[in-house]
Amino acid sequence: MSDIDLLKHFLEYPIWTSKPIFEKFKTINGAIFRENSKTGKERFLFVNGKKNNKVVLVAHADTWFDEFYDDEYSNLKHFVENENNIFIGKDENGERIALGADDRAGCAILWALKDSGHSILITDGEESCRIGSHWLMEYNEDIANIINQHQFMIQFDRRNNSDFKCYNVGTDEFRKFIAEKTNYSEPDRSSYTDITILCRDICGVNLSVGYYNEHSPEESINFNEWLNTLNMTRRLLEEDLPKFKR
């Protein structure tokens, strides 16, 4: 499958449920899936990479429009259209509708990198106060310890085309490293995402994946910008990467 077809494939998953994303990643050999059956949203999937100096690649399966109603809305559909390498969403009447690129675009990148030898972590509930990440760190100590033995974490869940954000989980040395390797810039250190919970002992960064106007019917994603982040990460992951402790 080409990269553009891969992105379209992930954007076509229903934005009202995260279940199909987990089902797809469960097919990876060695995938560890855990969930709190009482809540449904406290869940994650982890694949431990085989490289020595490996990083954790992170994305979240849920969208802003999920809101815990997996079963009720799981049959609703949206349609993905490509207009000059800009993907947008339409409903059955041809009206603009949210696309779910936040964070199906990140999930697509993780799928593209699943054979890189680095580790993969899919969370749920990032849009609901990061409840999946909190549950992982509080009730799954074995996985929490494993992920924090990696070199660092990279999350793919950022708007625009050339941002990186380390929030409160990046040192000055790590920020310099990311800026040099990506040629991206950090606009500020505010807000949060999964890595602000997951990065207990190591540094983490969130990279732009080319989406805009997330959480709205005007949402779109630029394929070329998404591909730039993917290819830049492919090159980075081939290097002997240093470890960055918090």
How confident is the model at residue 142, as a pLDDT? Answer: 98
d(CA 178, CA 203): 11
Low-confidence ranges of the chain (pLDDT < 50): 68
User: What is the reported pLDDT for 68?
Assistant: 47
Alpha-carbon distance 88 to 24, whole Å? Answer: 23
Give domain limits for the chain: 3-237
pTM assigned to the model: 0.96
Residues 6+ apart with CB under 8 A from 210: 101, 105, 160, 161, 221, 222, 223, 224, 225, 226, 228, 229
How many other β-carbons are positioned within 10 Å of the β-carbon of residue 141? 10
What pLDDT sits at residue 65?
86
Q: Supply 96's token pair.
A: 């603009």
pLDDT on residue 37:
81
Q: Write the CATH number of the domain with boundaries 3-237.
A: 3.40.630.10
